[in-house]
C-alpha cells in the first residue's frame, strides 16, 4: 500500500520496471549535471523511499543508487 501511494503521488503508477545496465563504479560530481526542476519534490520522494527501505529491505540497493 505505501509503495503504491508513493507511485500515485509521484505520477509514476503507469511506469513499468525495465532491466538497465549501469556501471556501479561511476562517481557523481556536483555541478556536472542539469539541476532538477523540482528539488523539493525529489527530496520528498527520496525520503519516502528511505522509509520504504525500513519496511521493505529488498529496496535498499535501489534507493542507495539514487540517493
User: How far does Cα 49 stand from its chain's mean position?
Assistant: 7
**7 and 48 Cβ atoms separated by less than 8 Å:** no
What is the total count of domains within the chain? Answer: 1
Element of type H or E holding 6: helix 2-9
Give the range of the structural domain holding residue 6, as residue numbers without chain letter: 1-10+36-67
User: pTM for the complete prediction?
Assistant: 0.55
What pLDDT digit, counting tens, does each position of 38-53 carry?
888 889 989 998 888 7
**63 and 50 Cβ atoms separated by less than 8 Å:** yes
Task: Flag whether 62 is in a domain.
Answer: yes
Task: Flag whether 15 is in a domain.
Answer: no
**52 and 6 Cβ atoms separated by less than 8 Å:** yes
What pLDDT digit, counting tens, does each position of 11-23 carry?
888 988 888 888 8
Task: Flag whether 4 is in a domain.
Answer: yes
Amino acid at each position: 500500500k505505501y509503495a503504491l501511494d508513493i507511485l500515485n503521488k509521484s505520477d509514476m503508477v503507469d511506469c513499468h520496471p525495465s532491466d538497465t545496465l549501469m556501471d556501479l563504479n561511476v562517481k557523481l560530481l556536483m555541478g556536472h549535471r542539469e539541476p532538477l526542476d523540482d528539488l523539493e519534490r525529489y527530496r520528498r520522494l527520496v525520503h519516502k523511499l528511505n522509509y520504504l527501505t525500513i519496511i521493505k529491505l529488498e529496496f535498499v540497493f535501489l534507493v542507495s543508487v539514487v540517493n
